[in-house]
Structure 1
Amino acid sequence: MAAGFQFEHTVAFSEDSPAEFLRQIPTGAGVLCLRGPNPTDEPYLTRTADLRRRAMRLLAPPELTEGGVPVLSKRLNLRGRVALIAWCATGSEFEALLSLYQAAAASFGYAEARRRLRLHTPFCLRFTAENAHPRLYATNRLSKRGLAQMFGPFPSRAAADRYADAVLDLFKLRRCYEDLEPYPEHPGCVYQEMKKCLAPCNLACTPDEYSAEAAAVKAFLETRGESMLGQIAQEREQASEEMDFERAASLHQQWTKVKAAASQTSDLVQELPMLRAVIVQATAGSDERLEAAVFLLEGGCLAGPVRLSTLGVRAVKEQTSVGSSLFAQPLMLQAVPLDGEATPSESPEERAALVLKTLEDKAGPERDLAMVSDHLSLVRRWYYRPEKQRVGEIFFPNPDGSWPVRRILRGAARMVLGDPGVMAETNREGVAAAKVKILHEGREGVERAVPVVSRRRKKVAAAETSETSSS
C-alpha cells in the first residue's frame, strides 16, 4: 500500500515568485512534502495543522534590514533547495498519521517510517496451539507461523499480562516456559501445589485431558469469555430450578469471577487474522461536501480512506431520554438536491455498501508483517486514548459477519454534522401540576361566568315580556 502512495496535489516551485505558488496551497491540516531538483535527494515530510502557514515559514524569502541585508535567523528555510511541493489535505489526526506513514514508507522504507513515527509492535497474547503442551503468554514478536495464534492488540504489556493471568486463573494450563519432556520424577512447580496446573510435566494428567483444557482456553479467547459464561449461566439456571440454591450461589460466584476476567479486555482484542473493523473519521471540507472518511481494518492492515457521502442521512442520538418516541428514532431522509446538483441514484445504504466493498477490494489477501505491525500500532495509539480525546468512531461486524450499515451511516453523519444537541428532559411533575392548575382556573372561571349569564338571560326575558305586553 505504501509503495503506491501518491500525494493528491503537486506544484512546481520557483523561488523567483514564491507567493504565487504558496497561494495554491490550502490552509487546512494535512501532510506536506518538499522535494529538491534531484530525484535522489531525501524529501522533507511533515504533518501540520495549516499547510500554507508551514509552507510559507519554510519557503518565504528572509526578512531584510534597512540596508537590504538578510536578517540572520535560526529558523529552517528550504527556499533555495525546493523544486516541487506536494501535499494532501486530511480531516483528522488519524488520517494524517496514516498518510504520513505511507508517504514515509514509500520514500524511506518501512524501517525508517517506523522510526520517524515512533511506532512499536503492540503486545498480544500468543496461544501456542502447535505445541504438544500449549501455553499462553504475552509477546510483541510477530511471525508468519504465529500470527494465526495471536490475540490483540493490547494497550501495553502490563494489560496483556493482566488479562493472561486472569484467564489462566480460570483454567489449569501450564505457565512454565520450558520445552516439556514429561517424566514421572519431574519435580513440578508451585502451580501444581496450588492446584492451578494439570502438571503434564510429571504425567499427572493424560494428553487428552490437557488437550481439552487447552481447547477451552482457546474458546475463551476467541469468544472473550462468552463460551464459559453461557455454560455457567445454564448450569446456574438448572440448579435454581432444582432448588439447589447452594450450588446456584457457588455457580453465580464463579460466573462473577469469569465476568471480571473477561471485562479486562476490549472489543479490539481479537484473533489477528480475524480482526475486522470500520473506522469513521472526518474528512477535509466535510462541512461543504457532506462526506466522511471511512477506513477498513482487515487482518491487522488498514485500507482507505474512501469518501462516504452522508447526503440523506440525519444524525441523531441512538439513545435519548424521551423513551420510544417516534421523534427519537434514527431517520433516513430523502436527499434534497441543491440548485444545479444531481440527485444520487442510490440510497444511503447502497452507497455505504459500495464503499465497504471498495475497501475490502483494496485490502487484499496478502499482508506484510512489517505493515501489520505498523498499522496495528497506529490503531492502538488511536483506539486506547481516553474516550474524550479519541476523535472518530469504530464499528465491528455483527455476529453473523455482516456490517452494521445503519450504524456506520449514523456515525458518518455525526462526523460531518457533529453530535446533535442533547434533548431537554421533560419535567413531567411540572407539566402535571400545570395541567391541574389550568383545569382548576377554568372551573373557577366557569363558576364565575354562570351567574353573569343567568342575569343577562333574565334581562333579555324581561325585555321581551315588556315588548309583548306593550304590543
Structure 2
Amino acid sequence: MATSFHFEHVLDFTPGQADEILRTIPAEPGVFALCGARKEDAPYLTQTADLRRRMRRLLDPPESQSKRLNLREKVARIEYCVTGSTFESSLVLYQATAAQFGYTEARRRLKLHTPYFLRMTIENAFPRVYSTNKLSKRGLSQMYGPFPSRLAAERYCDAVLDLFKLRRCYEDLAPYPDHPGCVYGEMKKCIEPCKQACTPEEYAAESAAVKKFFDTRGESMIISIGLEREEASSAMQFEKAAALHAQWQKVKSTQALADWIVRPIPKLKAIIVQTAGEQQREAGLEHKEEAALFLLDGGCIVGPERLSTLGVRAVREQTSVGSSLFAQPLMLQAVPLEGESTASNSPEHRAEHVLSLLEKRTQPSSDLALLSDHLSLLRRWYYRPEKQRNGEIFFPNDDGVWPIRKILRGAARLVLGDPKPMAETQRDASKEAAKDIKTKILHEGRPDVERTVPVVHRKP
C-alpha cells in the first residue's frame, strides 16, 4: 500500500504564462512532477540538480526539428519540493513514486535491489554462514550487512570461515560415522560434524565464536590474540609470539574486508548528516544555517529534521608546534533561535532535541519490501566512492549514546565548509631578517642601536 506523500509547492501551468511561472521556481536541487489535466494521465516524475533549468528544457517552446522531449502542451500543474542533497532527493523521489504508482513500480523505476548480507543459521542444529539477499523476519537478527555486492559478501565470509572450522556445506546434516565428508574436512578447515568427529557441544562452541566475531566485527578476536602475543613476548617465547602476530595480521586483514556499517539489521542505527535545501522564507527573517539530519533505525530511514549550526564556528588555527587542538569546529557562546528559551539554546541541546524528534518518528516496520527498499537506498549512497559521497554518517557509542559533538562538527563542516588553515608563521625567515638588520646596523657604526633589536629568549 502506497504512502501518503504531498509535494511542498503546487503551481498551475498554462503555456501562455510559462516564462513567468518558471521564473518563480528556484534554481536548486529537488524533485518535481509535471501533471496533466486528466487524473488518469501519469505524471512525469524525476529528480534534478536544478529545478528551473530542467523544467525549462521540458516546458519552453519547442525548437524546430528538435528531438528533445517537450511537454509544454500537455502539462496543467507543476508540483515540486526543494532538497539539499542527492541522498534526500533519492528518498523523496522514492516516496513520491510509491505514492503515485505503488511500491512495486517504484522499485522497478528506481532499480532498487536488496543488498547482500551474511546469514548465520543459528536455529539449525549445525549452524552455517552463507551470503543472501533474501530477507526473512525470522533471520533478521542473524543477517550481517549490507555489503556493496555479492562478491564482497562472499569474500568476507570465506575470510572469516578460514579463521574457524565451521562447516560450509549446504545439506541438512544427518551425521553418521560413514559419511563421505567433503574437501574442507580433508584440508582440516572443518571439524567434520557430518562424520561425528566432534560433539554437538564442540560445534556449538565453534559457532558461538563465529557469531561473536560477527557481532564485534572481529575486535574480540583481535584483543584476545594481542594479549596472548604480549604474554608470549614477555615470557621470551618469540616463536610463539611471531606465530600469534601472523595470526593477528590475518584477522586484521579479514576485518578490513567489512565496512564499519556491517552489523545485524536490527542494530543498523546511525545519524546521516546532509546539507539542507534553501527554503523560501518570509520577509524579515534571517537565513538560518542548517543541516538536514536523517535517522537510520533498524534499516529504515526517517527524516529529515533540520539542525541549526548557529554557535558553531569552523576554524583551523595552526600553531608553531603543529597542534591540532583547534582543527575542528568550535562551540561558541549559545545563540538563541527565534521562539527558543534561553535554557536550551546551546548547540548540544539543539542537537539532542532534533535527535529526539527523529526517534519519535520511528516506527517498527513489518514490511520486508519497504525495509529492502530503504536498505537499497542506503547501500547506493554509502558505498559510493568517497569523493562522490556527500554527507557524513555517525554511529552511536558502545553504550548506545549518540556522539552529540561529533554530529555537530559534521553538520558544521557541511554547512560552513572545511576549515581553512591559517598562514604559517615563517620564523626562520624572520630570524634571518633580524640578523641582517643587526649586521647592517653594526657595519654603519651605530653599535648603540644594537639594543633595540628584539631578542627572543626561550625557556630551557
TM-score of the superposition, structure 1-length normalised?
A: 0.86
Q: Deviations over 1:253-283 (max 9, x none)?
A: 1111111111111111111110111111112
| Closer/same/farther in 2, CA of residues 43 and 452 from structure 1, 3 Å limit | closer
Alignment partner of 1:129 is 2:126: no
| Residues 187-206 of structure 1 mapped to structure 2, 5 A cutoff | 187-206=180-199
Between 181-190 and 389-398, report the one with greater CA deviation: 389-398
| Residues 104-119 of structure 1 mapped to structure 2, 5 A cutoff | 104-119=97-112
Partner in structure 2 of residue 460 of structure 1: none
Please tell me whether the aligned partners of residues 394 and 407 of structure 2 are also in contact (alpha carbons under 8 angstroms).
Answer: yes
Partner in structure 1 of residue 257 of structure 2: 264
Partner in structure 2 of residue 174 of structure 1: 167
**Which of the pair has more CA radius of gyration?**
1
Q: In structure 2, what is the Cα distance between the partners aligned to 1:174 and 1:321?
A: 58
Partner in structure 2 of residue 33 of structure 1: 33
| Residues 14-413 of structure 1 mapped to structure 2, 5 A cutoff | 14-62=14-62, 71=64, 73-285=66-278, 288-316=287-315, 323-324=322-323, 327-328=326-327, 330-334=329-333, 345=342, 346-413=345-412
Between 388-397 and 133-142, report the one with greater CA deviation: 388-397
Q: In structure 2, what is the Cα distance between the partners aligned to 1:283 and 1:320?
A: 33
| Closer/same/farther in 2, CA of residues 444 and 123 from structure 1, 3 Å limit | same
Alignment partner of 1:438 is 2:434: yes
| Closer/same/farther in 2, CA of residues 116 and 318 from structure 1, 3 Å limit | farther
Alpha-carbon shift at residue 15 of structure 1 (Å): 3.6
| Closer/same/farther in 2, CA of residues 202 and 297 from structure 1, 3 Å limit | same
Q: In structure 1, what is the Cα distance between the partners aligned to 2:447 and 2:55?
A: 84
Q: In structure 2, what is the Cα distance between the partners aligned to 1:92 and 1:279?
A: 12
Q: In structure 1, what is the Cα distance between the partners aligned to 2:385 and 2:319?
A: 23
Alpha-carbon shift at residue 57 of structure 1 (Å): 2.8
What is the one-letter code of the residue matched to 1:161? E
Q: In structure 2, what is the Cα distance between the partners aligned to 1:29 and 1:320?
A: 40
Please tell me whether the aligned partners of residues 277 and 296 of structure 1 are also in contact (alpha carbons under 8 angstroms).
Answer: yes
Q: Deviations over 1:46-104 (max 9, x none)?
A: 111221222233233446xxxxxxx4643333333322211011121111111111111
What is the one-letter code of the residue matched to 1:32? F
Q: In structure 2, what is the Cα distance between the partners aligned to 1:27 and 1:34?
A: 17
Alpha-carbon shift at residue 426 of structure 1 (Å): 5.6
Q: In structure 2, what is the Cα distance between the partners aligned to 1:108 and 1:28?
A: 26
Partner in structure 2 of residue 421 of structure 1: 420
SS at match of 1:17: helix
Partner in structure 1 of residue 5 of structure 2: 5
Alpha-carbon shift at residue 452 of structure 1 (Å): 10
| Closer/same/farther in 2, CA of residues 99 and 410 from structure 1, 3 Å limit | same
Please tell me whether the aligned partners of residues 395 and 402 of structure 2 are also in contact (alpha carbons under 8 angstroms).
Answer: yes
Please tell me whether the aligned partners of residues 13 and 75 of structure 2 are also in contact (alpha carbons under 8 angstroms).
Answer: yes
Where structure 1 has 5 or more consecutive residues not aligned to the other structure, the ranges are 64-70, 454-471
SS at match of 2:209: helix
Alpha-carbon shift at residue 322 of structure 1 (Å): 5.3
Please tell me whether the aligned partners of residues 2 and 103 of structure 1 are also in contact (alpha carbons under 8 angstroms).
Answer: no
| Closer/same/farther in 2, CA of residues 309 and 321 from structure 1, 3 Å limit | farther
Alpha-carbon shift at residue 331 of structure 1 (Å): 1.4
Q: In structure 2, what is the Cα distance between the partners aligned to 1:385 and 1:319?
A: 32
Alpha-carbon shift at residue 329 of structure 1 (Å): 5.5
Please tell me whether the aligned partners of residues 317 and 419 of structure 1 are also in contact (alpha carbons under 8 angstroms).
Answer: no
Partner in structure 2 of residue 449 of structure 1: 446
Please tell me whether the aligned partners of residues 35 and 42 of structure 1 are also in contact (alpha carbons under 8 angstroms).
Answer: yes
Q: CA RMSD in A?
A: 2.8
Q: In structure 2, what is the Cα distance between the partners aligned to 1:440 and 1:354?
A: 60
| Closer/same/farther in 2, CA of residues 96 and 344 from structure 1, 3 Å limit | farther
SS at match of 1:261: helix
| Closer/same/farther in 2, CA of residues 321 and 151 from structure 1, 3 Å limit | farther
SS at match of 1:307: strand
Partner in structure 2 of residue 467 of structure 1: none
| Closer/same/farther in 2, CA of residues 440 and 35 from structure 1, 3 Å limit | closer
Please tell me whether the aligned partners of residues 279 and 393 of structure 1 are also in contact (alpha carbons under 8 angstroms).
Answer: yes
Alpha-carbon shift at residue 443 of structure 1 (Å): 7.8
Q: Deviations over 1:161-181 (max 9, x none)?
A: 110000000000000011111
Question: In percent, how many aligned pairs have the same letter?
Answer: 63
Alpha-carbon shift at residue 450 of structure 1 (Å): 4.7
What is the one-letter code of the residue matched to 2:312? V
TM-score of the superposition, structure 2-length normalised?
A: 0.88
Between 275-284 and 236-245, report the one with greater CA deviation: 236-245
Please tell me whether the aligned partners of residues 32 and 46 of structure 2 are also in contact (alpha carbons under 8 angstroms).
Answer: yes
Q: Deviations over 1:127-171 (max 9, x none)?
A: 111111100111111111121110001111111111000000000
Alpha-carbon shift at residue 366 of structure 1 (Å): 2.3
Please tell me whether the aligned partners of residues 31 and 45 of structure 1 are also in contact (alpha carbons under 8 angstroms).
Answer: yes
Q: In structure 1, what is the Cα distance between the partners aligned to 2:316 and 2:147?
A: 29
Partner in structure 2 of residue 457 of structure 1: none
Alpha-carbon shift at residue 187 of structure 1 (Å): 0.6
| Closer/same/farther in 2, CA of residues 52 and 16 from structure 1, 3 Å limit | same
Q: In structure 1, what is the Cα distance between the partners aligned to 2:4 and 2:409?
A: 32
Between 383-392 and 186-195, report the one with greater CA deviation: 383-392
